[in-house]
Amino acid sequence: AMALGLRRSRDHLTGNPAEVQGWLENLETETQNINRRLREITQGLHPSVLTDLGLISAVEAYLDSLARRPHSGDTAQTITLTAQGFDRQRLPAPKLERDLYYITRQALDNALKHAHAAQIFVHLRWDEQAVSVTVRDTGRGINAAPEQLMGQNGHLGLLSMYERTLAWQGKLVFHSAPEQGTTVRARLPVGQPSRAPAHLQALTRYLN
């Protein structure tokens, strides 16, 4: 649409300045809308709270945003987040936090979109050797092996989760069966052990 508008403006630049001005104003509005949408996408994948406060706060903020959205009756009614070993600590590498946030969010979004689950459980754990994220739902499960779905239309997020995990020499595991829910677990090695491995945080959000 933008290319067509620019072409029309070029073709009519000398013939009808008023019409050209209208097209340019429309293009300006469209450009602003695109920029706004790009900011929303960027902030969603890398929100400022992740930079400022870290992984757990960013996941909590995302759950809060989900709770504020309107939901249909076939989505999860409750999401429970538990975190162990963080206790306000920050992971040693910002990119590690970003990748773990993306993996957590993608697994959660997949559960919300496909599982039709009543409950979703998210657990983040930082121990002496690694950081892991586990997302488990009580939904309808997956008939095909998740590895077979990677890269297919509607499942590009699975491939990105795998690539981000592999970049840290980590391991991504799926467990699913029809009507028995799905569990996704990513475990990424980290050079710095948690200073509070026993500390446990819990948060529940209700989607209405």
83 plus 148 within the same structural domain: yes
pLDDT per residue as tens digits for the range 79-90: 999 999 998 788
Q: Are 172 and 186 in contact (CB under 8 A)?
A: yes
Residue 201 located in a structural domain: yes
Q: Which residue has the higher pLDDT, 74 or 82?
A: 82
Give the mean pLDDT of 44-51.
78
Give the mean pLDDT of 166-180.
92
Instruction: Tell me the CA distances in angstroms from 54 to 51, 145, 174, one per residue in order.
Output: 6, 33, 26
Model pTM?
0.74
pLDDT of residue 43: 45
pLDDT per residue as tens digits for the range 112-143: 888 888 999 999 999 989 999 999 999 988 77
105 plus 30 within the same structural domain: no
- Tally the domains of the chain: 2
Strands 119-126 and 130-137: antiparallel
Domain range for 95 is: 71-206
